[in-house]
């Protein structure tokens, strides 16, 4: 199952307080194939992102970056591979005490590999890409929700990752904000970034992904493209796409 330029997990089990969140879970994110993970609230979607990033450790099974199994390794042993992935967290997770520019350049300043001038150039480029360059000296508290999300994307881009994970990137935005973020994600994909998204918003998912993974009760119950999902006769998938009275209070 392992591709030399893909990331994923095999036969992975993860539980919290003896409650299974993922059971014998197989997942593959191939380079160039943009994917969304779907499932009801609490199904374990964000947990998948955290496991792939090595932020959580599975009880069994393995997580791999290409041919390298990272399970059981220290972060320092897979740091170079890990740098190929960036995540945009749900609320943006910006540092409140730093300006927009400092947030975007934070990782580069920490690494210390580039000069101040080079880092400032990256900051301006990335802020310009997401269309908020004029906010460079503002603090997160001075930004709208949509701007915060765009700054968070600029920060993810600063390290020039190959893969970008998005956790609910359009939640809480108005339709224009949603359109802007979807457009931004499509431009990133056109530049060769591979995206993995967790969202409840089906229009966002369909606008930005070719493949869909559906999670239900700790297991993967569907994998396929939009048409296959729309034609699926799996009850949970059908209910998710077309909620009925039966969905009330489940």
Ligand X SMILES: Nc1ncnc2c1ncn2[C@@H]1O[C@H](COP(=O)(O)OP(=O)(O)OP(=O)(O)O)[C@@H](O)[C@H]1O
CA quadruple 160, 161, 162, 165: dihedral positive or negative? Answer: negative
Q: How far is the CB of 172 from ligand X (least distance, A)?
A: 13
* 46 touching ligand X, by CB under 6 A: yes
- Which listed residue (45, 126, 193, 216) binds ligand X by CB under 6 A? 45
* 47 touching ligand X, by CB under 6 A: yes
Q: How far is the CB of 25 from ligand X (least distance, A)?
A: 12
Q: How far is the CB of 11 from ligand X (least distance, A)?
A: 19
Instruction: Return the residues of window 168-227 that contact ligand X according to CB under 6 A.
Output: 198
**Which of residues 41 and 227 has its CB atom nearest to ligand X in the complex?**
41
In which region does residue 167 sit, left (phi positive, over 0), alpha (psi from -120 to 50) or beta (all else)? beta
Q: What are phi and psi of 224, to 5 degrees?
A: 175, -170
Helix (H, G, I), strand (E, B) or coil at 231: coil
Instruction: Return the residues of window 7-26 that contact ligand X according to CB under 6 A.
Output: 16, 21
Determine the Cα angle at 66 with ends 65 and 71, to 5°: 35
Yes or no: say if 106 and 95 are a contact pair by the CB < 8 Å rule.
yes
Q: What are phi and psi of 193, to 5 degrees?
A: -80, 145
- Which listed residue (8, 44, 105, 169) binds ligand X by CB under 6 A? 44
Q: Which stretch binds ligand X (CB under 6 A): 34-42, 72-80, 175-183, 242-250?
A: 34-42
**Which of residues 91 and 131 has its CB atom nearest to ligand X in the complex?**
91
Helix (H, G, I), strand (E, B) or coil at 26: strand
* 39 touching ligand X, by CB under 6 A: yes
What whole-number distance in Å separates Cα of residue 7 and Cα of residue 27? 8
Q: How far is the CB of 123 from ligand X (least distance, A)?
A: 30
Binding site for ligand X (CB under 6 A): 16, 21, 39, 41-47, 198
């Amino acid at each position: 199952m392992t591709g030399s330029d893909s990331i994923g997990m095999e036969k992975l089990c993860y539980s919290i307080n003896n409650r299974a969140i993922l059971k014998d879970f197989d997942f593959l994110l191939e380079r160039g194939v943009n994917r969304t993970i779907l499932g009801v609230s609490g199904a374990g979607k964000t947990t998948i992102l955290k496991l792939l990033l090595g932020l959580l450790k599975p009880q069994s099974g393995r997580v791999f970056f290409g041919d390298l199994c990272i399970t059981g390794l220290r972060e320092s042993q897979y740091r170079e591979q890990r740098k190929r992935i960036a995540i945009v967290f749900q609320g943006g997770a910006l540092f409140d005490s730093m300006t927009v520019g400092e947030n975007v350049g934070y990782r580069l300043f920490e690494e210390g590999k580039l000069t101040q001038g080079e880092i400032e150039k990256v900051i301006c480029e990335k802020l310009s890409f997401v269309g908020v360059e004029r906010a460079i000296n503002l603090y997160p508290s001075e930004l709208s929700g949509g701007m915060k999300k765009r700054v968070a994307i600029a920060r993810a881009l600063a390290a020039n990752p190959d893969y970008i994970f998005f956790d609910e990137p359009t939640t809480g935005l108005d339709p224009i904000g949603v359109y802007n973020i979807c457009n931004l994600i499509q431009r990133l994909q056109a530049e060769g970034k591979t995206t993995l998204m967790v969202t409840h918003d089906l229009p966002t998912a369909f606008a930005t992904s070719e493949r869909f993974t559906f999670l239900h009760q700790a297991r993967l119950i569907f994998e396929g493209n939009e048409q296959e999902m729309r034609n699926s006769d799996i009850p949970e998938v059908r209910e998710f796409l077309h909620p009925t009275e039966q969905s009330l209070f489940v």
